[in-house]
Amino acid sequence: MPEKFGSRPVRAVIFDFDGTLVDSYEHLHRGIIKGMEKHSKLGRNGLEQWKKEFTLSGFWKRMNWDSFIKEAHERAGIKLSNKELLGLRKKIEAAEDEEGYHSTFYSDVKPSLEHLNEKGLILSVSSFSNKNRLLSRLSTEGLIDYFDTELIYGREDSRDRSQRLQLLLDKLKAKGIKPNECLLVGDMPSDALAGLSKGTQVVVVRRKVNGKYIIPKKSFAGFEGKSLVFIDSLKELLEKFK
């Protein structure tokens, strides 16, 4: 029997990874800076100016890697070819992933996964993170058994958030689970947009860094009238299941 989330049935939960399960904002922010310092063509002055603009509070706005890197270089008067852009993007992503390995899971993750698993819900992941990092971190922390490993999707499956989610929903559909029976749990406006566009239920978990919300609620202003649920922890998620 499906579990009830509010008044609606849920059979599967799809988690984002960074910022949702893992406290990685500062690590990934630091990784991107290291990658740009080592591999960008900005030069000392251009790099210092970019670092002043690339603050932790604005880090979440970095949604599109190509435009992010391209615009930074264009502001410094440097035009990158498509080949140069691709190569630089991969190097910066590798630096981000390396730092991401040092991030830790939020304290509410394990008890929440255990509780959801006991309810018989299928647990899965859709993340822009490197898939090897997803599997490694979940295994190292003893959390991998809570998930169906065939339902852990990373950027190797698709760089596009919406397309990656669709691939996962197609796999769930083959198991007899409809999109409206899936609950997507993420932290970004783009997570909410992807889930709502695919017909899933959506929960936004608002994590804090140094006592402050890293993503302001006003960033979700375009979702008025949508059935978004906002929570501050996964513990609150469990309380909403009937």
Domain final residue pick, 40, 69, 100: 100
Give the pLDDT band of residue 242 (cuts 50, 70, 90): low
- Say yes or no: 30 and 52 in one domain: yes
- Say yes or no: 127 and 213 in one domain: yes
Query: pTM of the prediction?
Result: 0.90
Domain final residue pick, 100, 131, 158: 100
- Say yes or no: 36 and 155 in one domain: no
- The set of residues, in sequence order, having a beta carbon less than 8 Å from that of 140 and lying 6+ positions away, is none
Give the pLDDT band of residue 63 (cuts 50, 70, 90): low
Averaged pLDDT for residues 109-115: 96
- Say yes or no: 74 and 173 in one domain: no
Domain final residue pick, 81, 100, 119: 100
| 110 has pLDDT over 80 | yes
Q: Cβ(146)–Cβ(113) under 8 Å?
A: yes
- Say yes or no: 62 and 49 in one domain: yes
**Considering its fold, how many domains does the chain have in total?**
2
Cβ atoms within 10 Å of 58's Cβ, excluding its own: 11
Per-residue pLDDT at 62:
61
- Say yes or no: 96 and 8 in one domain: no
